[in-house]
Chain A
Amino acid sequence: DQQVKQNSPSLSVQEGRISILNCDYTNSMFDYFLWYKKYPAEGPTFLISISSIKDKNEDGRFTVFLNKSAKHLSLHIVPSQPGDSAVYFCAASAITQGGSEKLVFGKGTKLTVNP
C-alpha cells in the first residue's frame, strides 16, 4: 500500500546546480505534506512543509511545489551543496477517522551532491 511514492531511489547532481526531488501520492485526504532529510545513523529532521491549500512554499534554498490535481509535489534545492547529500523523505499527513494524525512516508531518495 504505497500511498506516498518516491520513484527515484537516488539522484546525483553537481554542486551549484538545482536538485529536484519528486513525490507522488494517491490519497486525496492528505492535507499536509512534509519533506524530511536523513543522515545515516540519525533520525529524520524536518526540512520544509506545505499545506494542501497552497501550491508553493519557499525557505531559503528550499522550495516545495504542490500540484494537487496531479497529486504530485517536488522539492527544489538551489543551489545544491555537498552538505545537502542525504536521504530525503516525502511525508504526507492526514487526520484519521479517529481524530488522530499520522505521517505516511515515501521510500526516500538518496541525494548526492558532487563537489
Chain B
Amino acid sequence: EPEVTQTPSHQVTQMGQEVILRCVPISNHLYFYWYRQILGQKVEFLVSFYNNEISEKSEIFDDQFSVERPDGSNFTLKIRSTKLEDSAMYFCASRLINYGYTFGSGTRLTVV
C-alpha cells in the first residue's frame, strides 16, 4: 500500500536554528498538508498546498514557517528560527480525492 514517508523520524535542534522536515507524499496525490501535535494536545492544521502554492495556512504558520515542493516529489517544511514551543510531532499528509488523507509517521522535533 502506498505510504507517505517522512524524514528524519527525530530531529533535535538548538533554539534559533533552522530545520527542514522532509516528506515524500504518495506520487499521484495532488494535495499536501502539514499538521503538528504538541505533546498531550490535539493534532493541529498548519498548512495546505496545492498546485505549487499554499492554499490555506493557520495562525500558527507565521513568517518563520515555509513550505516547498522543490522537485515534484519532496514536500518540505522549513522553520527558519526554531523556538522551544515548536517542539512537537510534525505530520505530513497527502490526498488525491476529497477526504482520502494518508498521513506519514511523523517527525519528532525537539528544540533545546
DSSP class of B's interface residues: helix, strand, loop or mixed?
strand
Q: B50 and A107: CB pair below 8 A?
A: no
B-binding segment of A14-22, A41-49, A56-64, A70-78: A41-49
Query: Secondary structure at chain A's binding surface: helix, strand, loop or mixed?
Result: strand
Interchain CB contact under 8 A, A43 and B55:
no
Contact status B105-A102, CB under 8 Å: no
Residue on B with the closest CB to A100?
B55
Residues of A57-115 whose CB lies within 8 A of B: 89, 91, 93, 96, 98-108
Closest to B92 in A: A43
Interface residues contributed by chain B, number (CB under 8 Å): 26
Q: Please name the residue on chain B nearest to A105 by beta carbon.
A: B43
Q: Would A44 and B91 be within 8 Å (CB), given that A89-B43, A100-B48 are in contact?
A: yes
A-B contact count (CB 8 A): 61
A32 vs B97: C-alpha distance in the bound complex, in angstroms? 13
Q: Which of B42, B50, B106 contacts A42 (CB 8 A)?
A: B106
Contact with B along A25-50 (1 / 0, CB 8 A): 00000001010100001111110010
Complex: A41 Cα to B104 Cα, angstroms: 11
Do residues B42 and A46 form an inter-chain contact, with CB atoms below 8 A? no
Report yes or no: A106 in contact with B42, Cβ–Cβ below 8 A: yes
Q: For the complex formed, measure the closest distance between the CB of A100 and the CB atoms of chain B, giving whole angstroms.
A: 4
CB distance from A91 to the nearest CB of B (A): 8
- Decide if B98 touches A101 in the complex (CB within 8 Å): yes
Decide yes or no: A43 and B42 within 8 Å by CB, A34-B99, A100-B55, A100-B56 being known contacts: no
Listed by A's residue number, 5 A-B pairs whose Cβ atoms lie within 8 Å are A41-B105, A42-B105, A44-B43, A101-B31, A102-B45
